[in-house]
Structure 1
């Protein structure tokens, strides 16, 4: 199944929303949109494409109603999601975690352009396996530019076969948070903070199970 979502935030009006496939979106507040699963997705072979445009002077918070559970299909374990973000206003993305279960493989790509006075908070949370599950693989790529300059090129893998997966250390959960321009982040114990040369900061954390974070 192919799912496509378009959200356009403009000043002083409700967001424009277009949806097709297994993902729906609803404006739950004047400046908040929640993504909702209209069908079981992503299953193996599914693709999810989400495009978000925040115009200058507009604000948008993107949330989800529940966790995303990636599962294999009979034909393939692989699914993928892509986020294209065009930010000239204020965009805050903090959705519920992605759970990669039952040996599934899920690839996530985020491509971001920030222009003018645009601001971004982008938080991703991933857990490999449900209770008592250890199999599954996730890869996440972030490519961000700000004001015409490269801001971040970042890729992380988690799960069976990942670069960090070995007999001594096998993280199954990860959190990343990108903020631009630079703001203080309340980082959990063991997290790594990286100040970016073009402005902004990246926080990353890995462990066995996801931990609670302040909103």
Structure 2
């Protein structure tokens, strides 16, 4: 199944929402929306594309009502999600965790373009497996630019089939949080200050 979501925020207006497929969006506040699954997704073979546009002077908070459960399909184990973020105002994107269950493989791409005076908080959390499961795989790639100049190129892989996997001590959980332009962030994990401004905090372990 293919799911496409567009959320566009303009100053002084309610967010514009356009959804097709298994993902719906509900406005839950003046500048807040929640993602809702209207059908089981992603399954193996599914693709999800979420485009978020925040115009100058606008503010938008994006949440989800529940964790995203990734499951293998009958014939295909791999699914994909793509986030395309265009931020000239203020965006706070913090969905519930992604749980990569059973033998599923999920690939996430985040493409972020920001204006110099944008304000961003982007949080991502992933867990390989439900209770007793360890065979799933997740790959997350982020390309972030500010005013056409690279801010961050970042990739993380989790699961026993990734190249750096250690069957005894391989991390099965990841949490990452990107802020721009703030750098005064404290939290669990390692914080990297970025040359163009902002910072990235990352953590890996066994369970979220």
TM-score using structure 1 length: 0.95
3-state DSSP of counterpart to 1:29: coil
Query: Contact 1:13/1:30 (CA < 8 Å) preserved in 2?
Result: no
1:122-141 maps to which residues of 2 (within 5 A)?
A: 122-141=122-141
The answer (yes or no) to whether the contact 1:65–1:96 under 8 Å persists in 2 is: yes
Tell me the equivalent position of 2:165: 165
Indicate the residue corresponding to 1:80 in structure 2. 80
Residue correspondence of structure 1 range 1-215 to structure 2 within 5 A: 1-188=1-188, 191-210=189-208
| Partner deviation per Cα, 1:151-190 (whole Å, 9 max, x = no partner) | 00000000121233113421000001110102322221xx
Q: Is the partner of 2:28 in helix, strand or coil?
A: strand
Give the CA deviation at 1:45.
0.2
1:102–1:136 CA contact under 8 A, matched in 2: yes
SS at match of 1:185: coil
Taking the aligned partners of 1:202 and 1:67, their CA distance within structure 2 comes to 22
**What is the distance in 1 between the residues matched to 2:136 and 2:146?**
33
Ranges of 4+ aligned residues in structure 1 off by more than 3 Å = none
Alpha carbons 2:160, 2:167 under 8 Å: kept = no
Unaligned runs of 5+ in 1: 211-215
Structural RMSD (CA): 0.9
The answer to whether the Cα contact below 8 Å between 2:3 and 2:21 also exists between their aligned partners in 1 is yes
Any idea what SS the aligned residue of 1:3 has?
A: strand
Matched residues in 1 for 2:95 and 2:163: separation?
A: 26
How far the C-alpha of 1:147 sits from its partner, in A, is 1.7
- CA offset at residue 148 of structure 1? 1.9
The answer on whether the counterparts of 1:111 and 1:143 sit within 8 Å (CA) in structure 2 is: yes
Contact 1:109 / 1:141 at 8 angstroms: preserved in 2?
Answer: yes
Residue-by-residue CA offset, 1:68-118 (whole Å, 9 max, x unaligned) = 000000111000000000000000001100000011000000000001421
1:213 counterpart residue number = none
Which residues of structure 2 form unaligned runs of 5+? none
The CA distance in 2 between the partners of 1:163 and 1:154, in whole Å, is 16
Please tell me whether the aligned partners of residues 177 and 201 of structure 2 are also in contact (alpha carbons under 8 angstroms): yes
Alignment partners' CA distance in 2, 1:186 and 1:73:
40
